[in-house]
Amino acid sequence: MGGWVEGDPVGNRVFLDLPAFRPERGGVLPSVRVAYETWGTLAADGSNAVLVEHALTGDSHVVGPAGPGHATAGWWDGLIGPGAPLDTGRFFVVCANVLGGCQGTTGPSTLAPDDGPWGSRFPEVTVGDQVRVEAAVADALGISRWACVVGGSMGGMRALEWAVAMPDRVATLFFLASGAVASADQIGTQTTQQTAIRADPRWAGGDFDRADPPVDGLGIARRIAHLTYRSAFELGERFGTVVQDDGRYAVSSYLDHHAHKLARRFDAGSYVLLTEAMNSWDVGRGRGGVEAALATVTARAVVAGVDSDRLYPIEQQRQVADALGVPLHVIASPYGHDGFLIETEAVGRLLRGLLDGS
């Protein structure tokens, strides 16, 4: 129950131990362990490396089957492999579990120096902090410049932060289904999810028993979130007002399934921490505003969104595209925000075009 913990099967993860890290908003982590996965072979000059950035409940397992160490199959199946958009005969692809996550990278569920979980003591982290940790991973791997940084949703935030904070280290940028700054609607939705988790009596201020975590609160948070990930049209077409034999509405049964599925593999502390990092996201903070920040980007970019996305609506991607002076690519999909993961053929075409220079 919950995220990956020391002693669980490693699966395809590789671990990197980094020295002390100071988040920008205070506190210190005496060390940081990062879990990551790679595909393909790094060129001698490091020029063929691509960084894939996962979303909120993703992890380093972008592609590949479920199995020991991996509770679910890869979350972006079809993106990486021989002949895939990220062709492993051409590229060396890296995906790291984010700082504050729960799938092998240091987060609230990992052990502090006193051998107890960090829990509520884990310092607040920002998207900028997460990218600084990823930069340390790149350094350790001998990657001075990414051929491409790819990210959607929360991953898009980190991709954009890379392009702004370290423009000389990003050749191309694939920014998908995300925004340059958190909106009031997104913050409101995510703080409501956090409230659901904190209202679970087992939350215990964030210092809960890992053997008895606040799965009820986390499940409610997931139900709320999942409604924003799909479109009203799709839910209506799939479920309508059908009532199952067990008395539940079919759509309620669907949400129950996703709630229980997440509780089996994700840590509630990480969920609160990461949604708070998303709430604080603003690429223009301390940089003179969004337009000024994006003016520093030198990467050749593709910006894309999903036409039915009600969590990160097209207007947010248009802001980024206009500031970067590139066209906005709109992916037609009935699936809402999750369309960025589901419409792999359309996403793949755009990614291939970017990498091929067309």
Catalytic residue among 54, 70, 226, 337: 337
H helical segments located in 116-214: 127-141, 154-165, 184-199
Could you confirm whether 309 is annotated as catalytic?
A: yes
* Contact predicate 178/301, CB 8 Å: no
Catalytic residue among 59, 129, 267, 309: 309
Residue 249 β-bridge partners? 243
How many CA within 13 A on the CB side of residue 212?
A: 5
Could you confirm whether 31 is annotated as catalytic?
A: no
Take residue 336 and report the two structure tokens written for it. Answer: 């809402």
Could you confirm whether 8 is annotated as catalytic?
A: no
Catalytic residue among 153, 270, 308, 333: 153
Q: Find the angle CA(348)-CA(163)-CA(282) to the nearest 5 degrees.
A: 105
For residues 307 and 330, what is the distance between their CA atoms, to the nearest angstrom?
A: 6
Which residue matches tokens 């969104």? 305
For residues 199 and 220, what is the distance between their CA atoms, to the nearest angstrom?
A: 10
* Residue 108 three-state SS: coil
For residues 181 and 190, what is the distance between their CA atoms, to the nearest angstrom?
A: 14
Instruction: Give catalytic residue positions.
Output: 153, 309, 337
